[in-house]
Structure 1
């Protein structure tokens, strides 16, 4: 053992050693120690020198004692780890024990190098945890890894990658075999080019391809690869390998279902759309695109009602949408007219249903609209036909009544007078009966003429309507009635403009004017001279002739529904026959016009004739 100055020199050198080093004798007592060793354990020289090293670590002195004893007795190096707790937490130290030999090759103790490996241990622990998590993720996600060393031409697959390929655990693939696993055609060509580009151009890749396993099963995989560089050169490839077969099959089924759903929706004769919470369209079908005049649904997606319609229509639609989203109560088959920006109006049966999300919150609405414009137009036409049929039916009933009642009355009258004539002996009385028979015959002829005129009006549907100057036609009728008007001191006021024209059947128009003017004079008030005023209006394509008199007037509450009936009279006038207004109304309706009346008893009557200029 060194002595004197030599020992002092050794102590000085040991003190400055760059490593944490301690010298212990065969009794395990600390003889020398470097400052690094003392600092490592936060000890002072006075607390250590001459003390057994194993007693300095009460938590692990048995292990230390046994290891040190083995090292001395066997003259071999020993390495072990020691775990220690201090206020800062758990720490690990690695001990390297070497026999301390003197010049005679005798073991005089041990040289111990100690290193704080806490960070390394923690890193290894964390790495182990990460590897464990990675293994779990790998197994659950069916994600494997692989590495190819270009220089060694060696391909390494992890256990998961081998399992995906359905090969044995000890299988060692080559790069050519790895590529050959991909299905011949597109998949094999794509992976071959991707690997080649990664090695030669340093490009990464991520491809979804078809693989045929060692057992012949076809599966979808996600193959990813990236180059590894050293000194600017690609030396290896690394990547991941994932079994995505179930995912792809599920996606394909979903896509097939979506395609089927889109095909169904696009071919339904309904406008179908989905809107978000701001009433912006997020899905539209072909019918909705056609209605809004676009070819590509993308032109509508994201657009609000205000971008597609005028502000008043957009506001109405927004209110409906918001009502459905606020109340969660759907609108079903509501009839709604929508005006497009081009002015075209379409009538729809509209249904709007709230679109509910996962947590019961509304995400928007689903809209379904059925275009019923043609149906509504047909309904209107049908309603008009029903009205016409109803009117014709009333006329037919009225006509039948006249035929059955009036002609029967004439027949009965004839039969009775003839019986009287046969039985009568007095010649003077016979002459009187013959006079009555003549009157009865004249009345029958008049009735037949009236019926014939009504039939003619309602059967001559082909009579041509022509434009006439109304003012001129009134003057013509007035001239024809000159003697009649003069005899009753009647005044005709023609306020119709000279260039005013109406499209009518000329013969009917003359008859209509004749009837209304003569009736106005015939039913004059006995206390004032008759005045008949004619005026004309033409506004927005609607033409109307007004014929106003100052006569007796008609009690419309009492007689309004019978006014235009055949043989209906409302004044005790000797010339009243009740046929003129009936025929006049038929003539007006035959020209597809209509007549309305306003009257006040004791003041006068106004007839308004509305002409149909289109048909």
Structure 2
């Protein structure tokens, strides 16, 4: 090896450039240590002609090197190329291969070349290419208009397609033009100051200006500063222009709409997708007495409900909100000062273009006056219906009972008229007297019923129940002892009920005498009296162990007039009828539980209002 070649090999080694040789005459190959290191083969690896081809990645790289080697051998054509190889350790590398052809007597005899690892360099190139591609893609496809301005003179040096679209100017009209020509006169100074500021500041900001388009249209835009960079002795600034004309139009519309909803008499409240209040208009705040700070972050229903708010209605509202559906209800709400008001409410969910719920809008109005009249009308209708029903029943009673008595009297008179025997006529006088007494008794009962039913505004007051029970026991003391009935009560000494005293006295009398009259003879008789509080009623229970009543057979007529269910000779069938009318006149009710041979329990519900 000549000194010149040795110096060359050492220089190549120091620069990590491999040397390879292919002797065509001897069909032998040589790889220096750098080449072997690049291909990651063993130090004692001995190459042969063609062995290097297998390291080139299969496909385009291997096909290309084969073609170039073949042309070098057969046609003497040198080559210079970059390739991808797969090393002996299965690592991917990029190499640069240079081949020179050495001729002898006009024919190629040796191929001598260099082999250099350019993997890092290639990765940097690919990364740079990728970044350039990304920048080009972003620059070309950005929604914002992008202008690159020479800061020394304000000239536009580059722009993206969106800039041409926004301004309406073409390539020759924008490049080399001063940016200020696109800005309305009133905003030129502000824009110049904006650019000047960002040449010396690292902070980025946004400014609003009016852009003049080629068509003469004024477009509202936001100008945002981008990166500034220097090439040579020139500094450039990237500026982003965003069209905000639609947003400004929406803001104007929203402001007008906000003014309209703020001044309307309809109450309007807006809640987020979770149902939490985010805004309410003046009418809502005036109606409820709250201020905006007190309601924001709370559900409107939480602040508005009270003791008499209907739970079924609030459940319907919650269900509709969870289902994101419209709903319209009328509900009793409460103001901040706990004053009640009736409220018509219509809730509408609002969705964006992607069909995602963004908020709820509740529109309502105070309908307390209307609802008050409705309730008053319903109450009047209820009273009228009840009175008509009672009148119909009363007419039926009169028709049936008076007719029975008059028919009986007519029969007695006919018999007296048809007989000539004085003694026989006198004997019928007692029958006539008895019939007239019955008629008088019936008229008296009917008069009492009329008195009860026409008393719409009867006067009620608080009465000590224990005292009234003791008074009834004292009045019936002889009858209680004679019938050996034990009366027990667990009524507290201080329990008071809101009732008509005269009606309560009559009710207690009838229930006591019923328990005595229909006692069972085969066991000691008892009457137990207790009470319970349920909602707005005081319930008084009268439980006896008497004969009992077959409710399946007689339950529908148990409180009818002249209805009896046992063979007691003194039973008239009027007591429970009167009791029921008295209780209902006080807006209460009476129920019965009974079993033949076991006894009966009468439950008196007295309304505390």
When normalised by structure 2's length, the TM-score is: 0.56
TM alignment of 1:571-582, pairs within 5 A: 571-582=566-577
Give, in angstroms, the shift of residue 581 of structure 1: 0.7
Give, in angstroms, the shift of residue 286 of structure 1: 5.0
Structure 1 position 193 matched with structure 2 position 196: no
Deviations 1:299-327 (A, max 9, x none): 649xxx9xxxxxxx9xxx9xx99xx9xxx
What's 1:559 paired with? 554
Give, in angstroms, the shift of residue 579 of structure 1: 0.6
What's 2:507 paired with? 512
What's 1:29 paired with? none
What's 1:239 paired with? 237
SS of the equivalent of 2:519 reads: coil
What's 1:407 paired with? 402
SS of the equivalent of 1:592 reads: coil
CA–CA distance in 2 between the matches of 1:607 and 1:515?
11
What's 1:435 paired with? 430
Deviations 1:326-384 (A, max 9, x none): xxx9889799x9xxxx9x9x9999999999997xxx98898899999x99x99999999
Residue 272 to residue 386, structure 1, CA distance change in 2 (3 Å): farther
CA–CA distance in 2 between the matches of 1:369 and 1:173?
56
Structure 1 position 249 matched with structure 2 position 245: yes
CA–CA distance in 1 between the matches of 2:493 and 2:173?
114
- Is this contact kept in 1: 2:269–2:277, CA < 8 A? no
CA–CA distance in 2 between the matches of 1:202 and 1:550?
99
Structure 1 position 212 matched with structure 2 position 222: no
SS of the equivalent of 1:573 reads: coil
CA–CA distance in 2 between the matches of 1:155 and 1:382?
80
Deviations 1:397-437 (A, max 9, x none): 32221011112222333334444444443323333344333
- Is this contact kept in 1: 2:488–2:526, CA < 8 A? yes
| Equivalent residue for 1:146, pick from 140, 144, 149 | 149
Residue 417 to residue 464, structure 1, CA distance change in 2 (3 Å): same
CA–CA distance in 2 between the matches of 1:356 and 1:195?
37
Gaps of at least 5 residues in structure 2 are 5-10, 20-67, 69-77, 83-94, 99-120, 303-310
SS of the equivalent of 1:597 reads: strand
Residue 126 to residue 488, structure 1, CA distance change in 2 (3 Å): closer
TM alignment of 1:109-188, pairs within 5 A: 133=136, 137=140, 142-149=145-152, 154-158=153-157, 164=167, 166=169, 169=172, 179=180, 181-185=182-186, 187-188=187-188
Residue 228 to residue 444, structure 1, CA distance change in 2 (3 Å): closer
Give, in angstroms, the shift of residue 204 of structure 1: 6.2
Residue 191 to residue 604, structure 1, CA distance change in 2 (3 Å): same
CA–CA distance in 2 between the matches of 1:364 and 1:226?
35
CA–CA distance in 1 between the matches of 2:256 and 2:278?
15
Structure 1 position 479 matched with structure 2 position 474: yes
CA–CA distance in 2 between the matches of 1:138 and 1:250?
20
Residue 392 to residue 565, structure 1, CA distance change in 2 (3 Å): farther
Deviations 1:177-201 (A, max 9, x none): x54753244x334214324545787
SS of the equivalent of 2:151 reads: strand
Aligned residues: 459
CA–CA distance in 1 between the matches of 2:174 and 2:595?
114
- Is this contact kept in 2: 1:159–1:169, CA < 8 A? no
CA–CA distance in 1 between the matches of 2:549 and 2:141?
101
Residue 596 to residue 142, structure 1, CA distance change in 2 (3 Å): closer
CA–CA distance in 2 between the matches of 1:172 and 1:384?
84
CA–CA distance in 2 between the matches of 1:510 and 1:254?
75
- Is this contact kept in 2: 1:330–1:351, CA < 8 A? no
Deviations 1:466-485 (A, max 9, x none): 22232322232233234444
CA–CA distance in 1 between the matches of 2:533 and 2:173?
103
- Is this contact kept in 2: 1:147–1:157, CA < 8 A? yes
Residue 350 to residue 540, structure 1, CA distance change in 2 (3 Å): same
- Is this contact kept in 2: 1:524–1:551, CA < 8 A? yes
Give, in angstroms, the shift of residue 569 of structure 1: 0.8
What's 1:107 paired with? none
- Is this contact kept in 1: 2:149–2:158, CA < 8 A? no
TM alignment of 1:372-411, pairs within 5 A: 394-411=389-406
- Is this contact kept in 1: 2:225–2:240, CA < 8 A? no
Give, in angstroms, the shift of residue 601 of structure 1: 2.3
SS of the equivalent of 1:566 reads: coil
SS of the equivalent of 1:158 reads: strand
Residue 179 to residue 405, structure 1, CA distance change in 2 (3 Å): same
Which is worse superposed, 560-569 or 251-260? 251-260
Give, in angstroms, the shift of residue 583 of structure 1: 0.3
What's 2:462 paired with? 467
CA–CA distance in 1 between the matches of 2:582 and 2:245?
78
RMSD of equivalent CA atoms: 6.2
What's 1:95 paired with? none
What's 1:607 paired with? 602
